[in-house]
Amino acid sequence: MNRKSILVVEDDRVVSRDIQLQLRNIGYDVAGAAVTGEDAIAMATSLKPDLVLMDIRLEGDMDGIQAATTIRHQLRVPVVYLTAYADDETVKRAGDSEPFGYLLKPFEETQLRAAIEMALYKHAAEKRLHESERRYATTLSSIGDAVIATDSAGLITFMNPIAEGLTKWKMAEAIGKPVVEVFRIINEDSRQTVEDPVAKVLRLGTIVGLANHTLLIAKDGAEIHIDDSGAPIIDDHGEISGAVLVFRDIGHRKQMDDALRQAQADLALVGRLTRLGELAASIAHEVNQPLTAIVSNAETCLRYLEQAKAAAERMSQNSHRAGEVVRSIRSLAGNAPDKFVEIDLNQVVLEVVGLLRGEIRRHGANVETLLTPVPQLVHGDRVQLQQVVLNLVMNALEAMSAAAVPVKKITIGSRRSDANGVELFVSDTGPGLGPVDPERVFDAMFTTKREGMGLGLSICRSIIEAHGGTIMADIIHSDPGATFRLSLPVADEKRAK
Q: How confident is the model at residue 176 (pLDDT cuts 50, 70, 90)?
A: very high
Q: Which long-range contacts (CB under 8 A, 24 or more apart) does 446-450 make?
A: 448/399, 449/398, 449/402
Q: Where are the domains of the chain?
A: 5-138, 144-249, 258-496
Q: How confident is the model at residue 268 (pLDDT cuts 50, 70, 90)?
A: low
Q: Check the CA dihedral 326-328-332-336 and report its sign.
A: positive
Counting residues of the chain whose pLDDT is more than 90, the rounded percentage is 24
**Mean of the pLDDT values across residues 372-400?**
88
Residue 28 confidence (pLDDT): 92
Q: How many helices (H) and strands (E) does the chain have?
A: 17, 19
What amino acid is encoded at 418 in this protein? D
Counting residues of the chain whose pLDDT is more than 70, the rounded percentage is 70
**Mean of the pLDDT values across residues 402-411?**
88
Residue 52 confidence (pLDDT): 92
227-250 per-position pLDDT tens digit: 878 888 888 778 888 998 888 887
Regarding the domain delimited by 144-249, which CATH topology (the fold level of the hierarchy) does it fall under? Beta-Lactamase (3.30.450)
Neighbour tally for 340: CB within 10 Å: 16
290-321 per-position pLDDT tens digit: 666 665 665 555 555 555 555 555 555 555 54
Residue 489 confidence (pLDDT): 93
pLDDT at 130 over 50: yes
By C-alpha distance, which of 345, 352, 354, 275 is closest to 321? 354
> 280 or 372: whose pLDDT is higher?
372
pLDDT at 285 over 70: no
**Mean of the pLDDT values across residues 152-160?**
91
Tell me what the pLDDT averaged over the chain comes to.
79
Residue 150 confidence (pLDDT): 92
> 164 or 140: whose pLDDT is higher?
164
By C-alpha distance, which of 34, 109, 110 is closest to 67? 34
**Mean of the pLDDT values across residues 439-453?**
56
Residue 450 confidence (pLDDT): 47
Residue 496 confidence (pLDDT): 37
5-138 belongs to CATH 3.30.70.600? no
Per-residue HEC secondary structure of 2-25 comes to CCCEEEEECCCHHHHHHHHHHHHH
> Using CA atoms, how far apart are residues 441 and 460, in angstroms rounded to an integer?
11
> Using CA atoms, how far apart are residues 108 and 96, in angstroms rounded to an integer?
26
Q: Which long-range contacts (CB under 8 A, 24 or more apart) does 444-452 make?
A: 448/399, 449/398, 449/402
**Superfamily for domain range 258-496:** Histidine kinase-like ATPase, C-terminal domain (3.30.565.10)
185-204 per-position pLDDT tens digit: 998 888 888 888 899 989 98
**Mean of the pLDDT values across residues 121-132?**
78
**Mean of the pLDDT values across residues 162-187?**
92
pLDDT at 348 over 60: yes
pLDDT at 53 over 90: yes
Residue 452 confidence (pLDDT): 44
Neighbour tally for 178: CB within 10 Å: 16
Mean pLDDT check: name the lowest of 256-260, 451-455, 466-470: 451-455
Residue 234 confidence (pLDDT): 85
By C-alpha distance, which of 424, 419, 410 is closest to 464? 424
**Mean of the pLDDT values across residues 65-85?**
86
Residue 124 confidence (pLDDT): 83
**Mean of the pLDDT values across residues 33-41?**
91
> Using CA atoms, how far apart are residues 401 and 394, in angstroms rounded to an integer?
11
pLDDT at 81 over 60: yes
pLDDT at 163 over 50: yes
Residue 358 confidence (pLDDT): 78
Residue 267 confidence (pLDDT): 59
Residue 306 confidence (pLDDT): 53
Residue 255 confidence (pLDDT): 63
> Using CA atoms, how far apart are residues 349 and 355, in angstroms rounded to an integer?
10
Q: How confident is the model at residue 213 (pLDDT cuts 50, 70, 90)?
A: confident
pLDDT at 178 over 50: yes
